[in-house]
Amino acid sequence: MKLLSTVGASATLAFSIASSLFGAQQPATALPGQTFQQVQQTVRSSRLFQGMSLTEESRGYYTVSSPFDGGDAVLYVIGEGNTVSTETLQFRYPDSRISFERESGSSTSLIADIWGDGIAQDYVDSRYTDEIQGGIGPNHYYLGERYGYRRSIYNDTRTGTGIYSFTVMDIVDWEEFRRADRVCSANPNAFQCSGL
């Protein structure tokens, strides 16, 4: 498997840990381009959010959260009409835990467990494009063959909790997110750029 050889021996250990955590069940594969119903079905059958359902926060914006490894795991699903365009997996911890760096075996194994090996491999093979200071902190952007990716690490200013996010998005949204971050980088006091 190319993914494991790319990230080295640590990925094998991390994959073993993740496999025992999530079991032998096929990973969730709810992806941008699918319907909210498909994502809902996948969320319910995933190990991380097993039996739980997405909650509609507002039109086209759904979330689900669960305790995870001493912190919280939250999945944000955003789309228009009935089609999902972006999905963000976020972990909130008092201390650093998951960086979502491509070189981190535990991070790429977790991505594989949530979105499947194909997405983890697309991320590992992706091209790092830039770091842009957004409204809440620096965002790192990667462009794969299938999707665009954003990796973010910042602190919740209210609680001091570390927040680690990984977003899978279609290429159009990837460009729009980068454009919005550039606006915030140039105009940090703009209303839409306010932090947490």
Q: Show the CA angle centred on residue 42, arms to residues 149 and 166, nearest 5°.
A: 20
Q: In the prediction, which pLDDT does 92 show?
A: 83
Q: Which region, left, alpha or beta, applies to residue 189 given φ > 0 means left and ψ of -120 to 50 means alpha?
A: alpha
| C-alpha to C-alpha distance for 63 and 88, rounded to whole angstroms | 10
Q: Show the CA angle centred on residue 121, arms to residues 51 and 70, nearest 5°.
A: 45
Task: Enter the pTM of the model.
Answer: 0.79
Angstrom CA distances, 120 to 84, 111, 156, stand at 19, 6, 27
Query: Which ranges of the chain have pLDDT less than 50?
Result: 1-28, 196
